[in-house]
Structure 1
Amino acid sequence: MKQPRGWIALAGLLFAGDVDAHDWYTGKKDPVLHYDCCGNKDCYPIDSHSVRETKDGYYVRMPRPAYLNEPQEPEWFIPKERAQASLDDRYHLCERLMTFYRTIIPHMKFEAYHRFRWTCFFVPKGTS
């Protein structure tokens, strides 16, 4: 049985609608360091109650501990020159889980640990 091409095209458009609405992160870069913000899996909207603005930048309460299995840092400081305008009226944060190494016994053994680091920060338009 033949399927009309119109139905197939319509089905393709419907499934394409499931793409994350925040794909605008892709291709964005930090305005100072020029790092890639990454994409849909590393960036997400955050609650405005988690952000405190000062004259020099923003303090962002972290959504989870920065270090896995270590004490949590209370906030990240993000300088104003590194903040970018978001495409909606929400704050957005991009972060990565990075691997670092530390010495357990000097010059003999290294241990890997993981830490979250922010890469990009987006603020609502009209935020100073």
Structure 2
Amino acid sequence: MAQFQTTTALMWLVLASDANAHDWYTGKTDPVLHYDCCGNKDCHPIDSSNVRMTKEGYFVRMPRPTYLNEPQEAEWFIPRDRVQPAPDDRYHICERLMTLYRTITPHMKFEAYQRFRWTCFFAPPGTSSVAQTR
């Protein structure tokens, strides 16, 4: 019985710490378009090896395809004015799966396809693209 209680207590500790680690996404919005960043399911940390900084902003390479049924885009570009400071030393991105439609010629029928789009991007404090006044 004591082992069960210890295991249960550890499980609750892990779940609570994971929830608190991502609470900071809630209530955040894109600084330019004012879209909600969303929360735990849409936002996640990304490896710094997938991020390339330029003077105009960041290029982010995602480890999975952005399209579910089409070829992958090489990178997403995030303009400097849409970069927000992260509360830790990691990069974070928020993305949504969107359903889009296109016509198929010559029949003029519509075909649905799904694509991931980024909504918010966070960079570690001290990177030159993040304004210190935000």
Q: Which interval holds the TM-score relative to the shorter structure? A: 0.7 to 0.9
- Kindly state the Cα deviation for residue 109 of structure 1 after the two structures are TM-superposed: 2.0
- Corresponding residue number in structure 1 for 2:3: none
Deviations 1:45-91 (A, max 9, x none): 00011000000000000221111121111100000100000010100
Q: Which residue of 1 aligns with 2:42?
A: 42
Count matched residues. Answer: 116
| RMSD, aligned α-carbons | 1.7
Q: 1:35 to 1:106 in 2, by over 3 A?
A: farther
Which AA in structure 2 matches 1:17?
Answer: A
Contact 2:61 2:76 in 1 (8 A): yes
Alpha-carbon distance in 2 for matches of 1:37, 1:87: 15
Partner Cα distance (2:52, 2:17) in 1: 33
1:18 deviation in Å?
4.9
Q: Does 1:17 align with 2:16?
A: yes
- Supply the distance in 2 between the matched residues of 1:63 and 1:29 (Cα, whole angstroms): 24
Per residue, is there more helix in 1 or in 2? Answer: 2
Q: What is the DSSP-based 3-state SS (H/G/I as helix, E as strand, rest coil) of the residue aligned with 1:55?
A: coil
Identity score, percent: 76
After TM superposition, the structure 1 = structure 2 runs for residues 101-120 of structure 1, keeping only pairs within 5 Å, are 101-105=101-105, 108-120=108-120
Deviation at 1:104?
1.8
Please identify the structure whose Cα radius of gyration is greater: 1
Cα pair distance change 1:74/1:85, threshold 3 Å: same
Equivalent in the alignment of 1:59: 59
Moved over 3 A (4+): 105-108
CA distance in 2, matches of 1:19, 1:77: 29
The answer for the alignment partner of 1:97 in structure 2 is 97
Deviation by residue 1:88-125 (Cα, 9 ceiling, x = unmatched): 01000000000001112467421110000000000000
